[in-house]
Structure 1
Amino acid sequence: MYAIVEIAGQQFKVSKDQKVYVHRLGSDVDAKVSFDKVLLIDNGGSVTLGAPAIEGASVEAKVLQHLKGDKVIVFKKKRRKGYKKKNGHRQSLTQIIIENIVASGATKKAAAPKKEAAPKATKKADVEVETATEEVKPKATRAKKPKTEE
Structure 2
Amino acid sequence: MYAIVKIGGHQYKVSEDQTLFVNRLPEADGKVTFENVLLVKDGNGKVKIGQPTVEGAKVEASIVDHLKSDKVIVFKKKRRKGYRVKNGHRQPITQIKIEKIS
TM-score of the superposed pair, with normalisation by structure 2: 0.94
Aligned mates of 1:70, 1:82 — CA distance in 2: 29
Which whole-Å deviations, capped at 9, do the CAs of 1:103-134 have from their partners, x for residues lacking one?
A: xxxxxxxxxxxxxxxxxxxxxxxxxxxxxxxx
Partner of 2:73: 73
Structure 2: segments with no counterpart, 5+ residues: none
How far apart are 1:83 and its partner, in Å? 1.3
1:81-96 map, 5 Å:
81-96=81-96
Q: Which protein has the bigger strand share?
A: 2
Aligned mates of 1:50, 1:7 — CA distance in 2: 16
How far apart are 1:27 and its partner, in Å? 2.6
Aligned mates of 2:38, 2:56 — CA distance in 1: 11
Q: Which protein has the bigger helix share?
A: 1
Q: For this pair of structures, how many residues does the alignment match?
A: 101
Partner of 2:41: 42
3-state SS in 2 of match to 1:84? strand
Is the counterpart of residue 21 in structure 1 residue 5 in structure 2? no
How far apart are 1:73 and its partner, in Å? 0.4
Partner of 2:4: 4
Is the counterpart of residue 98 in structure 1 residue 101 in structure 2? no
Aligned mates of 2:58, 2:100 — CA distance in 1: 9
Structure 1: segments with no counterpart, 5+ residues: 103-150
Contact 1:70 1:90 (C-alpha < 8 Å) held by counterparts: yes
Quick one: percent identity of the two aligned structures? 62
Aligned mates of 1:27, 1:34 — CA distance in 2: 13
How far apart are 1:43 and its partner, in Å? 1.3
Q: Structure 1 segments of 4 or more deviating over 6 A?
A: none
Larger Rg: 1
TM-score of the superposed pair, with normalisation by structure 1: 0.65
Which whole-Å deviations, capped at 9, do the CAs of 1:34-58 have from their partners, x for residues lacking one?
A: 0000000111321100000011100
Aligned mates of 1:76, 1:3 — CA distance in 2: 41
3-state SS in 2 of match to 1:56? coil
How far apart are 1:91 and its partner, in Å? 0.4
Structure 1 counterpart of 2:41, which letter?
D
